[in-house]
Amino acid sequence: MIIKSAVYKTSVSKAENILDDGIPEFAFVGRSNVGKSSLINNILGCKSLAKTSATPGKTKLVNYFDINGDMFRLVDLPGYGYAKVGKGQLDVWSGLIGKYLTQSKSLQTIFVLLDIRHEPSELDKQMINFLIYNQLPFMIIVTKADKIAKSKQINQIKKIAKALNVREEIIILSSSELSIGKDKILQYIENKI
């Protein structure tokens, strides 16, 4: 798929304002700092359409980006596991992220991002369980592949799949730094829409 245009549409802070205009959506969730906004920029070939930061907690709203007119939409979500949200407790069940995930009518797939270097956290497991419980279609993207040796990547993916009890086939390797994974993700989106 060729990205002809990528435009920031809007941001919302309340569930009442979630968009509902039928454009297919693909959302990115994961721990703060895992690389959601960076991946969106990499996929779209834009340097800083989605705001990124080395400090966790950069993305605080549901941010929508319209791609190729009304072909589809990428949704950048706030990270979890950072500050205010109580220790180890993900507010996915009651917070904005959960409301977005369960109330969006045009949501096609949720991409759950995990840092390739780490075992999934309790919060990551809660997120996956939330998606399974609510029967929401998801794929897993392991980020920052450039941070470990190529020879170790497969093993890390196997470990992550085992920890989450998911099939390895739903895991996509990525690096926004080296532009790895971008084509696979775009191909996946193209097949869905």
Ligand X SMILES: Nc1nc2c(ncn2[C@@H]2O[C@H](COP(=O)(O)OP(=O)(O)OP(=O)(O)O)[C@@H](O)[C@H]2O)c(=O)[nH]1
Contact 86, 36 (CB under 8 A): no
Which position has the token pair 């920890």? 163
Instruction: Quote the CA–CA distance of 4 and 44 in Å, as a whole number.
Output: 9
Q: Which of 9, 23, 56, 71 binds ligand X (CB under 6 A)?
A: 56
Give the pair of three-digit tokens for residue 67: 């791609």
Pairing of the two strands 138-143 and 107-115: parallel
176 binds ligand X (CB under 6 A): yes
CA 102 to CA 81: how far, in whole Å?
A: 20
Among 18, 38, 49, 156, binds ligand X (CB under 6 A): 38
Q: Which of 6, 19, 26, 37 is in the footprint of ligand X by CB under 6 A?
A: 37
Let me know: does 75 contact 27? Beta carbons within 8 Å. Answer: yes
Span interacting with ligand X, options 56-64, 100-108, 118-126, 130-138, rule CB under 6 A: 56-64
Which residue number, 61 or 71, has a Cβ lying nearer to ligand X?
61
**Token reading at 176:** 């926004």
Contact status: 143 vs Mg ion (CB under 5 A)? no
* Residues 65-84 close enough to bind ligand X by CB under 6 A: 78-79
Which residues of the chain form contacts with ligand X (CB under 6 A)? 30, 32-38, 52-54, 56-59, 78-79, 143-144, 146-147, 175-177
